[in-house]
A and B are shown apart, each in its own frame.
Chain A
């Protein structure tokens, strides 16, 4: 009995300290992003809350098991100078221990599956429903080896680029975005056997979705903070599925801005596009 009480007390103390550290971590960072370091979208927040919840339980479980192992190894060890002998107790079964363990692990796992997994997925799925995405900004994303190409069909922007000509993703804050994800090369759209799987990931948004050749995938989310790659490098588009030699370079800058700034950027892009097309002598009969 004494040993059981000792394990329990040590667990309470050590576990309590560990939980205190965990909670401080959870409450750290901008907007309490804690373990996620930087979260700026509605879907990311769903994941973050699940992470925080599981972390608190995982730390408690971890401490319990480690305390049991460490306590046994110290308390029941053969000490220096003692002769090894048969253990005094040879109990091969203890219904209470086995019962508590098995029922406990079943209950915990069912709990984890219901919350946060199923409940979190409900939130993710709800965020994908049409009624929650009225007035969504549509961004067509083409993933090719090795580039992300963003176009904005609602605004007639064919390829959004920054002033250096690199692809860039601009989004207005707090407006739903519909990403339409395809793996293909707009410049070589007949070579479909060379298309590979990519994965569209914005670390700060806490979500990635694979982009598979021959399929069109949709991802709906809402950027919740004004930020950009310059503010924090987790705010970037990064390919997350190995796609050949250029995989590490397959990234793009992201800017989440006010609606006004977004409108101005759209005008700027149109202007840029017109001047490029003019330069190439393509435009004319279209206008």
Chain B
């Protein structure tokens, strides 16, 4: 039986067994089949059984008891449906799982936009159903796409290659962690079985306290997804620190690896914080504890959530900023401009991101807190701007090949600029009083996330496609798709700003009639955008198997992942690379990256 099937089966069995056993000990007054406690216990048991089933039993559990590791990976494509310790397999598994999350949550978004074409309920049976949809969309997008595709996906695949190693430090850890992604997505998506939840992705208390039990699957799903990200952060941080090939000094570390390193540090600092918060919420419900309702401190939950929630948005965008400066020097055949400034920008963003969380709460906090939080919020745009500084400096007087990856990077820079500048308005407290919790905010963060991170991810997919598959995409259709989503994206989310200013608030399937025409146009553009993403998926899928055979190093890049054959061989580097020059030095007299001599003499 395929390991994935075995995992699902064991998970299901464990859920029913432990659910029933818990009920036997602690019967529920409301239902003979399930209680909050039994579902929670059953879920944890299911998670463990599922991880054992996908291969954790042979590869992880047995060695823990001193037995031999009897795990054998299946050959060929079947490998992707089970536990694997190869960082390339894990990276692709992450990308696929994350793309699956994007598809599910994207379809939910289409349903939401369909609903918003009318000021009364159509496809949703009740306003609570709509709110559940918003919550599922936001939660899956944030915790399985925005923070996962680039870090768990591209990070796991590319970082070891880029720093010149054959394996990560904790390969079994990431072999398991990737399987938590589909598990978490499924958990959140199944929350309607328990009644859904009306809080949206932020799980605001005390509303969560009076929600139906669907909120349990929101908490548990996020626990699974954040655990997965935490394991990635542990593995990649350690790998970057200890597994760099000779010559890959900190001063030479590739930009994308810097991005993943800063993001992983953010993850290591802040994920435990949000996980503790969610476990407290779980306990609040199961016990109950009265931590966050009117008897406790409702506003406390908001602080706890945003303490993590704000660094989270930099977890999303920092790898994207790094990808810009990874791709542009290659496509422009020009040395990366002001590299130390670009790296410092990433590091300062990482540090400052812990000081701005209360800007999500300007309509809630004390006046004395408003000034410092608006101050740091406005200041964080300075290091963020360093990514632009380096990118524009690199573009200047370059020999730019304006192909699909370049185009998508430039579009990402355009979109993210709008995302950043609209944030300036939100940081101004008197303006925030008006536009907070309106569609202005929804426009702002979709510009940063889709405009910045999703566009950059697509750029990365096209750029590294020859590396992943050994094949090339079609230049015409790639550009065609890029322009398609660029126009549709701006048409959709540009409208959100105007809607917000005109008084459209968030979380409303039913709204005043004067907003109808604008919403109709927005929805039509959104459908075109959704189709555009499907187009890219289809094109990439086709190119992966049917595209023209690509050269080993089609872009003439200098980073290490291109110094081995494409597609990447089973063993990344048959001979450990020794790096003798900067990865981002171009020009006719640039010294070769690899030390040409005999490896045994290297020092």
Q: Do A and B bind each other?
A: yes
Q: Which residue of A lies closest to B211 (CB)?
A: A244
Flag if B199 contacts A86 (CB, 8 Å). Answer: no
- Contact of A223 with B by CB under 8 A: no
Name the segment of B70-78, B149-157, B374-382 touching the other chain.
B374-382
Question: B410 contacts A69, CB within 8 Å?
Answer: yes
Complex partner residue of A54 from B397, B428, B507, CB under 8 angstroms: B428
* Interface: A85 (CB within 8 A): yes
A residues 184-219 with Cβ under 8 Å of B?
192-197, 199, 201, 203-204, 206-210, 212-215
In this assembly, does B553 line the interface, its C-beta being within 8 Å of a C-beta of chain A? no
Q: Tell me the chain B residues, 389-404 only, with Cβ under 8 Å from chain A.
A: 389, 392-393, 395-402
CB distance from A133 to the nearest CB of B (A): 16
In contact, A120 and B428 (Cβ under 8 angstroms) = yes
| Contact B430–A43 (Cβ < 8 Å) | yes
A248 to chain B, nearest CB (A): 4
Given A78-B402, A101-B389, does the pair A212, B198 have CB atoms closer than 8 Å?
no
Contacting pair B207 A90 (CB below 8 A) = no
Cβ-defined contact, A90 with B335, below 8 A: yes
Is B587 located at the chain interface by the 8 A CB criterion?
A: yes
Partner of A247, one of B388, B429, B508: B508
A-B contact count (CB 8 A): 279
Residues in chain A near residue B389, CB distance under 8 A? 97-98, 101-102
A47 touches B433 (CB 8 A): yes
CB of A134 within 8 A of chain B? no
- The smallest C-beta distance from B376 to any residue of chain A, in angstroms, reads 10
Q: Are B587 and A102 neighbours in the complex by a CB distance under 8 Å?
A: no
A21 to chain B minimum Cβ distance, whole angstroms, is 14
**B511 nearest in chain A by CB position:** A248
Give complex CA distance A244, B209 in Å. 11
Decide: A244 and B128 in contact? CB cutoff 8 A. yes
Interface residues on A, range: 35 or more
Q: When the two chains form the complex, which single residue of A124, A234, A240, A241 contacts B430, counting CB atoms closer than 8 Å?
A: A124
Binds B, one of A109-117, A158-166, A261-269: A109-117
B-contact bits for A24-67, CB 8 A (1 contact / 0 none): 00000000000111000001101100110011001001100110
Docked Cα-Cα span, A244 to B212, in Å, equals 11
Please give the distance in Å from A206's CB to the nearest CB on chain B: 4
Residues of chain A contacted by B406 (CB below 8 angstroms): 73
Binds A, one of B235-243, B249-257, B271-279, B417-425: B417-425
How far apart are the CA atoms of A88 and B421 in the complex, in Å?
A: 34
B333 on interface, CB distance cutoff 8 Å? yes
Check: B339 CB closer than 8 A to any chain A CB: yes
Residues of chain B within 8 A of A78, CB atoms compared: 399-402
A69 and B414: CB pair below 8 A? yes
For B313, the chain A residues whose CB sits under 8 A away are none
A184 nearest CB across to chain B (Å):
8
Q: Are A50 and B430 in contact (CB under 8 A)?
A: yes
Interface centre among B198, B293, B382, B396 (most CB of A within 10 A): B396
Nearest CB on B from A190, distance (A):
11
- What is the 8 Å Cβ interface bit string for chain B, positions 119-132, against chain A (1 contact, 0 not)? 00000001110010
Which stretch in B2-10, B455-463, B498-506, B562-570 binds the other chain? B498-506
Nearest-CB distance from B283 to chain A (Å)? 16
B298 touches A214 (CB 8 A): yes
A54 touches B207 (CB 8 A): no
Q: A92-B339, A233-B514, A234-B502 are in contact. Are A85 and B399 (CB under 8 A)?
A: yes
- Write out the residue numbers on chain B whose beta carbons fall within 8 Å of the beta carbon of A37: 501-503
Interface-centre pick from B298, B381, B418 (highest chain A CB count, 10 A): B298
Instruction: State in angstroms the CA–CA spacing of A121 and B46 once bound together.
Output: 52
Q: Which of B63-92 contact A (CB under 8 A)?
A: none
Cβ-defined partner of A76 (8 Å) among B298, B395, B514:
B395
B17 on interface, CB distance cutoff 8 Å: no
Interface residue from B199, B335, B400, B556 paired with A92 (Cβ < 8 Å)? B335
In the assembled complex, the Cα of A50 lies from the Cα of B590 at a distance in Å of 50
Q: Provided the pairs A121-B430, A197-B298 are in contact, do residues A192 and B401 lie with their beta carbons within 8 angstroms?
A: no
CA distance A91 to B200 in the complex (A): 49
Verify if B510 is at the interface (C-beta below 8 Å from A).
Answer: yes
Contact B512 A233 (CB under 8 A): yes
Q: CB-nearest residue of chain B relative to A200? A: B363
Give the B-binding residues of A (Cβ under 8 A): 3, 35-37, 43-44, 46-47, 50-51, 54-55, 58, 61-62, 65-66, 68-69, 72-73, 76-78, 84-94, 97-98, 101-102, 105-106, 109, 112-113, 116-118, 120-121, 123-125, 183, 192-197, 199, 201, 203-204, 206-210, 212-215, 233-234, 236, 238-249
What are 30 A-B residue pairs whose CB atoms fall within 8 Å in the complex? A36-B501, A50-B430, A68-B395, A69-B395, A72-B392, A87-B334, A87-B587, A91-B335, A101-B389, A109-B382, A116-B428, A117-B374, A120-B431, A121-B367, A121-B430, A193-B209, A193-B290, A195-B294, A197-B206, A204-B503, A212-B364, A213-B298, A215-B299, A233-B514, A240-B506, A241-B437, A244-B211, A247-B131, A248-B127, A249-B127
Interface residues of B (CB under 8 A from A): 126-128, 131, 198-200, 204, 206-207, 209-211, 290, 293-295, 297-299, 332-339, 341, 361, 363-364, 367, 370-371, 374-375, 378-379, 381-382, 385, 388-389, 392-393, 395-402, 406, 410, 413-414, 417-418, 421, 424-425, 427-431, 433-434, 436-438, 501-503, 505-514, 556, 585-588, 590
Task: List the 3 closest pairs (A to B, CB-CB), nearest first.
Answer: A203-B503, A213-B294, A72-B395
